[in-house]
C-alpha cells in the first residue's frame, strides 16, 4: 500500500463536499472513493463517476462475497463502499471516504488485520445553532423531518471524541489548510 485512507465525516451542511473538492483539486495524490448504489442514476449522473450503479441482485451478490467495507440503506436504496476498488486505489493514491460516523466505524472494523488503518477526521461547525439555522433555511422537509436531521447532527457531533482529528470549518481556507496539514503529517507518519 502506498497511500493512506481518510474517513471524512461530519453533519450534513457542514461543508465537507466543498472541502473535499478543494483537496482533490490541489493534490493529485488524493482520490475520492466511489460508492456503489442500487438507486437509479439521476439526470446527469454517470456510472463510474458519481456512483457505480448496480442492480439489487448484483449488489447483494457482491455483499455476500464480502466486497463491501460497509453498507447502509437510505430512502429504499442500498449504498456501499467497495472493498476491492478502495484497496486497489490505495496502491497508488491516498483515498478519501466521505461517509457518516456509523459507516466510518464499520470501515475501521472491516479493515482490522489488513494493515490498513484509516485516519478518522470529523469536520464540525463552529456554532451548532448556526448550522441548524442554515439547515432550516435550505430545508425542503417538514418540521418533523428537520427535527430528525437535527438529532442526527447532534449524534454525529457526539462521536467527535472517537475520531483521530476534529477540524472546525469556521473559515473555508483555514479548514482546508488544517486538513492538508493532517494529510501531510499522517502520510509521513508523523502523527
Ligand atoms: P444520494 O442518493 O442522495 O446520492 O445519497 C443518499 C445518502 O446515501 C447520502 O446520505 C449519502 O451520504 C449516502 N451514501 C452515499 N454513498 C454511501 C456509501 O457508500 N455508504 C453509506 N453508508 N452511505 C452512502
Please, which pLDDT band fits residue 143 given cuts at 50, 70 and 90?
confident
Return the pLDDT at 5. Answer: 98
Strand pairing partners for 122?
A: 9, 166
Return the pLDDT at 82. Answer: 98
Prediction pTM value = 0.93
Record the cell numbers describing residue 71, joined without a space: 453498507
Higher pLDDT, 160 or 13: 160
Q: Spell out the residues 6+ positions from residue 115 whose beta carbon is closer than 8 angstroms to its own.
A: 1
Pocket test for ligand 1, best of 33, 74, 155 (most atoms within 8 A of CB): 74
For residue 98, give the H/E element and its range. strand 94-98
Calculate how far, in angstroms, residue 153's C-alpha sits from the geometric centre of ligand 1: 16
Higher pLDDT, 8 or 141: 8
Atom of ligand 1 nearest to the CA of 36: 19
Residue closest by Cα to atom 6 of ligand 1: 74
Rounded CA-CA distance 30/85 in Å is 15
Query: Residues 116-137: what's their mean pLDDT?
Result: 92
Please, which pLDDT band fits residue 1 given cuts at 50, 70 and 90?
low
According to DSSP, the β-strands at 36-37 and 77-82 are antiparallel
Q: Is the pLDDT of residue 141 over 80?
A: no
Note whether 94 and 137 are within 8 A (CB): no
Q: Is the pLDDT of residue 118 over 80?
A: yes
Calculate how far, in angstroms, residue 188's C-alpha sits from the geometric centre of ligand 1: 31
Q: Which of 62-71, 77-86, 141-150, 174-183 comes out lowest in average pLDDT?
A: 141-150
Return the pLDDT at 130. Answer: 86
Note whether 162 and 25 are within 8 A (CB): no
Return the pLDDT at 59. Answer: 98
> In 71-127, which ranges are continuous DSSP H helix?
83-89, 101-110
Question: What angle separates helix 143-158 from helix 128-138, to the nearest 10 degrees?
Answer: 150
Amino acid at each position: 500500500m502506498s497511500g493512506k485512507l481518510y474517513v471524512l465525516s461530519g453533519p450534513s451542511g457542514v461543508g465537507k463536499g466543498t472541502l473535499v473538492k478543494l483537496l482533490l483539486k490541489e493534490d493529485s495524490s488524493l482520490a475520492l472513493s466511489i460508492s456503489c448504489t442500487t438507486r437509479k442514476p439521476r439526470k446527469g449522473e454517470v456510472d463510474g463517476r458519481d456512483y457505480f450503479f448496480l442492480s439489487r441482485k448484483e449488489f447483494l451478490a457482491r455483499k455476500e462475497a464480502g466486497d463491501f467495507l460497509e453498507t447502509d440503506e437510505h430512502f429504499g436504496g442500498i449504498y456501499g463502499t467497495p472493498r476491492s476498488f478502495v484497496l486497489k486505489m490505495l496502491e497508488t493514491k491516498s483515498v478519501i471516504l466521505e461517509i457518516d460516523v456509523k459507516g466510518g466505524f464499520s470501515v475501521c472494523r472491516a479493515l482490522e488485520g489488513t494493515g490498513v488503518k484509516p485516519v478518522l477526521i470529523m469536520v464540525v461547525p463552529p456554532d451548532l445553532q448556526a448550522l441548524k439555522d442554515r439547515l432550516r433555511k435550505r430545508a425542503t422537509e417538514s418540521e418533523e423531518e428537520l427535527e430528525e436531521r437535527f438529532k442526527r447532527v447532534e449524534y454525529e457531533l457526539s462521536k467527535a471524541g472517537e475520531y483521530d482529528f476534529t477540524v472546525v470549518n469556521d473559515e473555508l481556507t483555514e479548514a482546508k489548510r488544517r486538513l492538508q496539514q493532517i494529510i501531510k503529517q499522517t502520510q509521513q507518519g508523523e502523527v
